[in-house]
Amino acid sequence: MADGAEDFVKGALAGVVEDSGAITAMLITKEGVLLAAAGKTSSLNTAAMAALVAGMYSATREVARMVGEKQFSILLQQGETRHLHISLVTDVVMMVVVFEDYTRIGRVRYAVRKATEDLAPYLVSSEDVQRARDELAVDTFKAGTLRLIDRIFKE
């Protein structure tokens, strides 16, 4: 997340929970990293859930490609009493909302859509991720080169 955005993001997720009547709202990366969560999370292993949802999304993306789509932007998993609404916020960040049977899916979709519009400017994109990876590679190369130079001159 961009600097100073953490409180805003948590507030937006809390707004999704409040506006939709959901149990929990989480932001995760496509790699399965939990970025933020709001609502009732004490009974959830949010880190494991983030990883599993990311895997589920990857599998679904491949199914989308098989049927001629780039990806599906919204996934809905329906259980007997609890459901998951999974949607893309940016090209690398997803929102996962856990809600119960008495909550209307329309309320969840509206709250998520509203929050997504507010959140997108505060979250990383794939370009940000690639830039960070490139900077890390350059820093790693520099550090390795400096260590090599130190070793050469110490001998």
Residue 140: inside a domain, yes or no? Answer: yes
Residue 136: inside a domain, yes or no? Answer: yes
90 and 147, same domain (yes or no): no
45 and 106, same domain (yes or no): yes
d(CA 36, CA 153): 47
d(CA 118, CA 20): 16
| Domain that includes residue 153, residue range | 125-155
11 and 51, same domain (yes or no): yes
Residue type for position 72? F
136 and 115, same domain (yes or no): no
Residue 39: inside a domain, yes or no? Answer: yes
pLDDT in tens, the chain (155 residues): 545 567 888 899 999 999 999 999 999 988 888 888 999 988 888 888 898 999 888 888 889 999 999 888 888 889 999 999 999 888 888 999 999 988 888 999 999 999 988 887 777 654 544 454 445 445 555 565 566 666 666 65
Q: Are 23 and 81 in contact (CB under 8 A)?
A: no
147 and 134, same domain (yes or no): yes
Residues in the chain: 155
- Per DSSP, what are the bridge partners of residue 96? 26, 86
* pTM metric for this prediction: 0.74
41 and 87, same domain (yes or no): yes
